[in-house]
Amino acid sequence: MSQNLGKNINKNIDQLIKRDAEVLLHPSSSITDLIENGPKMVVGAQGRHVVDAEGRQLLDAMAGLWCVNVGYGRDELGEAMKVASNQLGFYHSFTNASNPWQVELADKLLQLTPNNMGKVFFGTSGSDCNDTLIKIAWHYHALKGNNKKTKIIARDQAYHGTSISTASLTGLTGFHKEFPIPLDFVVRVDCPHYYSQAIDDETEEQFCDRLINNIEAMIEREGADTLAAFFAEPIMGAGGIIVPPQDYYPRLGKLLKQHDILFVADEVICGYGRLGAWFGSTEFGIEPDMIASAKGLTSGYFPLSAAFLTDEIWEVLKLGSEQIGAFMHGYTYSGHPVGAAVALANIEIMERENLIEKAKVSGKYLHEQLQSLMNLPNVGEVRGQGLIAGIQLVTDKASRQTPDQADALPAKITALMREKGVIVRPLASIGTLAVSPPLNITNDEIDTLVSALSESISSFA
Ligand SMILES: Cc1ncc(COP(=O)(O)O)c(C=O)c1O
């Protein structure tokens, strides 16, 4: 950590902390809490640590919001942005305008994605990326003459974003309260979490059978001719770090193919190394028709998303272009040269420092160490893969009883951990603590993280 980091704090920081609640509406935040307790101001960062307004260094075991994969304070990312900003700054990509950075980035990404991906569309966030893919799914089926294929399937506990369409796909009911969503194009299916969703003494295999049978029954009920796509995070993130049974995705993929329902892998968290592989799909036997990605693409240094589609889908869009004209979807900042430049530099770091393999090795160490938490009376399950983990809190181990949401136990534990200098994330809906550190986290830092988890969770046992 740079010696000067804590000293560069803005002199007016106390005034700004006070001013925050007077001028800002924060995303996914409690207004009451902000008014009572003020913001959690962060003023600098280096490596795996962020610095707060008091100059305290906190180990960021969440990599920001599951995204700072190469860690903080990477000068070369700033340099790459500066070069692209000075040389071009901005130019749009509408009406086939382009810039060299986005072509180079697309080329690079198509070498890293599962090999059936053929084209990429750039946006700025995970939400707009999924929104784009919903529209491409609709467009694809309509151009093939299947205008009724408009419903999108998503799972309980899924998180796909907060735009109107993606909040509708999101299966966390907190995101729907007092908004007129989910919109009615969404069909909801089971969350594939054996630990919390198994019935009686069902084995994991039987659980998987039941879920696949339920999806099959849903397809029968809704009619395959009305279903456009199935959206799935390979490992669910915000919904609880949920890893489905082994056979789930291959069986699901087969079923969707039979019914011409597109499989969209939402790799916004899993992509770019989080699971110890470039993409989560390859780890779980998913053969996606389209992929959503963002976050780790630039390690969060610039808002950028990449939506991937197969050449087979693109061929249909191409025919559409010949018949109906331009593909009428896009954003002012699609293909942003500065975003593309930083993504290229970010991927270069990942390759040069072998961060994908490192995430695999450190991930193994992390999960081995986290197993010690299973000795605590209020931990029921530790799950995940690579550098993503969920620690399931329980009030009764035998019955797998999760804590009452009103008790806000995960938030209380994460507050205590912050006092100890470590940031993890509470996932309230399922009583889970989430861990998702930068990919270059060291074993010593993992030890610090696990000790803080152990001490803090035991304080509430
Ligand atoms: C799996 C997944 N999809 C989509 C999103 C939405 O991304 P954004 O917040 O950039 O819109 C997120 C954000 O956490 C996510 O985890």
Average of per-residue pLDDT across 69-84: 98
Q: Read off the amino acid at residue 221.
A: R
pLDDT at 406 over 50: yes
| Residue 127, ligand 1, Cβ within 6 A | yes
| Residue 129, ligand 1, Cβ within 6 A | no
- Residue of 393, 372, 369 lying closest to 381 (CA atoms): 393
Average of per-residue pLDDT across 378-403: 97
pLDDT of 26 = 98
Q: Answer whether 426's CB lies under 8 Å from 433's CB.
A: yes
| Residue 157, ligand 1, Cβ within 6 A | no
How many CB atoms neighbour CB 79 within 10 A? Answer: 13
Q: State which of 69, 127, 128, 436 you would mutate to test the pocket of ligand 1, scoring each by most atoms of that ligand within 8 A of its C-beta.
A: 127
- Residue of 298, 355, 386, 326 lying closest to 68 (CA atoms): 298
Atom of ligand 1 nearest to the CA of 128: 11
Atom of ligand 1 nearest to the CA of 158: 1
CA–centroid distance, 159 to ligand 1, in Å, is 7
Q: Per residue in 101-150, pLDDT tens? A: 999 999 999 999 997 899 999 999 999 999 999 999 999 999 999 999 99
Q: Per residue in 269-280, pLDDT tens? A: 999 999 999 999
Higher-pLDDT residue of 11, 171 = 171
pLDDT of 2 = 47
DSSP 113: S
How many H helices and E strands in the chain? 15, 15
Q: Answer whether 45's CB lies under 8 Å from 57's CB.
A: no
Tokens 């191409």 map to which residue?
Answer: 318
Q: How would you label 47-60 residue by residue, b for 16+ Cβ within 10 Å and e otherwise? A: bbbbbbbeeebbbb
Cα distance between residue 174 and residue 235, in whole Å: 20
Average of per-residue pLDDT across 17-25: 96
| Residue 268, ligand 1, Cβ within 6 A | yes
Instruction: Give the DSSP H or E segment for 103.
Output: helix 100-112
pLDDT of 334 = 98
Token pair, residue 3, equals: 């010696």
Q: Per residue in 419-451, pLDDT tens? A: 999 999 999 999 999 999 999 999 999 999 999
Q: Per residue in 292-322, pLDDT tens? A: 999 999 999 999 999 999 999 999 999 999 9
Token pair, residue 210, equals: 């039941």
Percent of the chain scoring above 70 in pLDDT: 98
Q: Read off the amino acid at residue 432.
A: T
Radius of gyration of the chain (CA): 22
Q: Enumerate the β-bridge partners of residue 122.
A: 306
| Residue 201 CA to its chain's centroid (Å) | 32
| Residue 238, ligand 1, Cβ within 6 A | yes
User: Before 39, cis peptide (omega within 30)?
Assistant: no
| Domain spans in the chain, listed from the N-terminal domain onward | 5-70+356-458, 77-352
Phi, psi (rounded to 5 degrees) for 391? -110, 110
pLDDT of 115 = 78
77-352, CATH topology level: Aspartate Aminotransferase; domain 2 (3.40.640)
pLDDT of 7 = 54
Output the average pLDDT for the chain: 96
Half-sphere exposure for 209 (CA within 13 Å, toward CB): 6
Atom 1, ligand 1: residue with shortest CA distance: 268
Q: Per residue in 180-206, pLDDT tens? A: 999 999 999 999 999 999 998 999 999
pLDDT at 454 over 90: yes
Average of per-residue pLDDT across 359-383: 98
pLDDT of 5 = 52
| Residue 338, ligand 1, Cβ within 6 A | no
pLDDT of 63 = 98
3-state secondary structure string, the chain?
A: CCCCHHHHCCCCHHHHHHHHHHHCCCCCCCHHHHHHHCCCCEEEEEECEEEECCCCEEEECCHHHHCCCCCECCHHHHHHHHHHHHHCCCCCCHHHCCCHHHHHHHHHHHHHCCCCEEEEEEECCHHHHHHHHHHHHHHHHHHCCCCCCCEEEEECCCCCCCCHHHHHHCCCHHHCCCCCCCCCCEEEECCCCHHHHCCCCCCHHHHHHHHHHHHHHHHHHHCHHHEEEEEECCCECCCCCECCCCCHHHHHHHHHHHCCCEEEEECCCCCCCCCCCCCCHHHCCCCCCEEEECHHHCCCCCCCEEEEEEHHHHHHHHHHHHHHCCCCCCCCCCCCHHHHHHHHHHHHHHHHCCHHHHHHHHHHHHHHHHHHHHHCCCEEEEEEECCEEEEEECCECCCCECCCHHHCHHHHHHHHHHHCCEECEEEHHHCEEEECCCCCCCHHHHHHHHHHHHHHHHCCC
| Domain spanning 5-70+356-458, CATH architecture | Alpha-Beta Complex (3.90)
